[in-house]
Structure 1
Amino acid sequence: MKMKKLIGALLALVLLMGCATNKNLSPEKAKRMAETTQKVNEALNKQLFTIEVNHVYPQRLPAKALSYGYYVRVTADSVYSCLPYFGHAYRVPYGGGTGLNFAEKITDYVMQRGKDGKINIYFKVNNKEDRYDYRLEVFDNGRAFVDISSDERDRIGFAGMMDIGK
């Protein structure tokens, strides 16, 4: 039994080593990566950034690719959320309400840097329909994940890229 565990652990180690990234990057690619990391960090430190999403992950439905035009924009003390909602809503206003399309003030903004090159951002937003908790994971390369939970709707997630050109 111990031999099987040892062989399994060795196999997992070999697979992980095979998946490791190549550290021998060309100077041009290393320079571009460093510039991207710097732009991402500057935008996050200023609390002035936009994440353009291209995939949605509803809680009870299959994932979907999204067309162009959906985003979350943070500007110092506000969030501009232009996101679709797919899922179960418990209580919403007549006509469906605004869902995740709103511009509101941010409360309880917290940014934490992780060990693995990602930055976690947490904030809360209240509007007349609901209370939302946003959790953003942003990586050095600009890749981002947005997770939104609320009181009146199922949790929903999004994936996309930070727009570092603006």
Structure 2
Amino acid sequence: MKILNKIALVAAFIFIGVNVTNAQTKAEKKAARQAEIKKMIEDQNFVFKANYALPMRGGSRPLTSDYDLVITKDTIISFLPYFGRSYVAPNIGSSDGGIKINTTKFGYSLTTKKSGNWVIMIKPKERNLADWRDVQTFNLNISPDGYGSLQVTSSNRDPISFNGYVEARRK
């Protein structure tokens, strides 16, 4: 009987040791991931991948295709869907919808909250009065873990929000 107790005690110590080691590696992985996200945001070189759309009118909807906002030091590229009310009709015969921008002229401001979240405001500076989809601002709120929300404000459409995550930009 004493042998069984000793075996059970050794097994318990091994189990506890494995769990403590596993917890340390999880914490180390999380810290490394947060440092990677911080570097991407500070270097202004990342992609926001949208996976959920929250229009101002109507219901929320999961996104099944690949939609994103690519941010670099010199370029903003947006390929996002749009669901909601537009106050100006598109050109006749146009099937182009969504929030599509590719510009090198933009304002970029980054602030850090006490909670560790980053708040990024992007204002495209190219204004095309003939463009009915004119985007005023992109407001991006990113957590230290890389999850975020994006609010898009347009001049002639209802605002729309997206939930998603940040990842490294592919070259």
Structure 1 runs of 4+ aligned residues shifted over 6 Å read none
Matching residue's letter, 2:86: A
2:57 to 44, 56, 60: 60
| Equivalent residue pairs, number | 142
Do 1:104 and 1:127's aligned partners in 2 also have CA atoms closer than 8 Å?
no
Does residue 116 of the first structure (1) align with residue 115 of the second (2)? yes
Partner of 1:83: 80
Deviation per residue, 1:22-77 (Å, 9 max, x gap):
xxx91111111111111111111111100111000000111000013101110112
Counterpart CA distance in 2 for 1:97 and 1:43 is 31
Counterpart CA distance in 2 for 1:110 and 1:64 is 29
Counterpart CA distance in 2 for 1:102 and 1:54 is 19
Correspondence 1:116-155 to 2 at 5 A:
116-125=115-124, 126-128=126-128, 129=131, 130-155=134-159
Counterpart CA distance in 1 for 2:65 and 2:95 is 23
Partner of 2:26: 29
Instruction: Quickly say closer, same or farther: Cα 1:68–1:163, change in 2 above 3 A.
Output: farther
SS where residue 85 of structure 1 aligns? coil
CA-based RMSD of the aligned residues comes to: 1.8
Identity over aligned residues, as a percent?
A: 25
Deviation per residue, 1:99-158 (Å, 9 max, x gap):
302211242210000011210000111353213200000111110110000111100000
Structure 1 position 163, deviation (Å): 1.2
Does residue 44 of the first structure (1) align with residue 49 of the second (2)? no
Matching residue's letter, 1:84: P
Do 2:70 and 2:169's aligned partners in 1 also have CA atoms closer than 8 Å?
no
Structure 1 position 78, deviation (Å): 1.7
Relative to the length of structure 2, the TM-score reads 0.77
Q: Which runs of 5+ in 2 are unaligned?
A: 1-21
Do 2:47 and 2:169's aligned partners in 1 also have CA atoms closer than 8 Å?
no
Instruction: Quickly say closer, same or farther: Cα 1:98–1:120, change in 2 above 3 A.
Output: same
Does residue 157 of the first structure (1) align with residue 164 of the second (2)? no
Relative to the length of structure 1, the TM-score reads 0.79
